[in-house]
Amino acid sequence: MSIPLGADGTPKRKRRVRYEGKNPRRFDEKYKELNPEKYADDIERIVKSGKTPAGMHRSICVKEILEVLDPKPGQTGLDGTLGFGGHTAELLQRIMPNGRIFAIDVDPIELKRTTARLRALGFTDKELIIRQINFAGIPKMLADAGGGFDFILADLGVSSMQLDNPARGFTFKWEGPLDLRFNPERGQPASALIKTISEKSLEKILFVNSDEPHAKTIARAIHKNCHKINTTKALADTVKEALATVVHVGSKDEITTSIRRTFQALRIEVNDEFSALEQFLRNLPICLKPDGRVAILTFHSGEDNRVAKYFQDGLESGIYSDISRDPIRPTPKECFDNPRSKSAILRWAIKNGDSSI
């Protein structure tokens, strides 16, 4: 393959592909946002405007999580949902010297990028052990962790990197494959799921996973058109058209909310999120050291109700010595600065130091 040369005989520099308009709209065109190290000033300006740069994730309730977990030098912790690595980086700074954090995630795409980012910041595999496993694999790490963890964090939200990338199929804002899997190498995408289940099962998924009030209407429309729904836009349009004729749907915002809930419900089902969370909560007592602390960030009632119940049951049975009596919410300032934090709920628990479990 020949390389084009300039008049002076040197290779011509390949020009960046131009985009239409003043600012790039498509995810893959946002070259500045996707290269934060190179365009730091632009990234800072975007963040100050209250937006999250494409391909990045702004950690939520960092101050509150640090207060709850109270990490100390020399401790061993677990980040059960590594994501962009923001929480992990903050925790690592507080457990040095001689501390360690085990960090896991099921997303092979973002895990690779986050690992490279954290290694570039100077965190080696001595203090930061990263593995691609799900919640079920945590107990197998106990031997390497010295028998248990001093603190555990789980941020159950979908990361901004997943939401922003149309190729992942998590959002209806842009056209993309209707996938919704955290690990695209396992299981079936949402587009396949809706073609294999009954209308009644779909209605139950919408109601149980996202409290969708129009579950019956939406399920009927999706089931009827399932053979044509292979993209995020196709699903969004199907829901929109189904609700456009419903008398008691009040506004465009209400329809948008139902579309968002539909995506949430299918994502939870595709990834079996509730079962994974319940297994995580059951395993917590054997994974925490005596007096160990856990903090969990949830983003909808299905998650929060499960966390609250397990913590309350654990307190009553003596597994936990203390739990959060009330949910902790992001401050008004954080909600303004980072709108994606608005639905976050933080709960915590402390394992009983006298517990034999």
pLDDT at 291: 97
Q: Which residues have C-beta within 8 Å of that of residue 93, sequence separation ≥ 6?
A: none
Contact 115, 147 (CB under 8 A): no
Query: CA–CA distance from 5 to each of 16, 17, 22, 148, 285 (Å)?
Result: 17, 19, 31, 60, 65
pLDDT at 251: 83
Q: What confidence category does residue 26 fall into, taking pLDDT thresholds of 50, 70 and 90?
A: low
pLDDT at 125: 95
Contact 159, 85 (CB under 8 A): no
- Domains defined along the chain, listed by start: 62-160+291-351 (3.40.50.150)
Query: CA–CA distance from 197 to each of 59, 116, 191 (Å)?
Result: 36, 40, 11
* Number of C-beta neighbours around residue 60 at 10 A: 23
Single-letter amino acid, residue 63: K
Q: Which of 42-46, 62-66, 92-96, 183-187 has the lowest mean pLDDT?
A: 42-46
CA dihedral 156, 161, 165, 170 (to 10 degrees): 10
Q: What percent of the chain has pLDDT over 90?
A: 72
pLDDT at 27: 52
Which is more confident, 52 or 262? 262
Average predicted confidence (pLDDT) for the chain: 88
Which is more confident, 244 or 279? 279
Q: Which residues have C-beta within 8 Å of that of residue 12, sequence separation ≥ 6?
A: 3, 4, 5, 6
Tens-digit pLDDT profile for residues 119-140: 999 999 999 999 999 999 999 9
Tens-digit pLDDT profile for residues 86-103: 999 999 999 999 999 999
The mean pLDDT value for 301-314 works out to 97
Tens-digit pLDDT profile for residues 343-355: 999 999 999 998 5
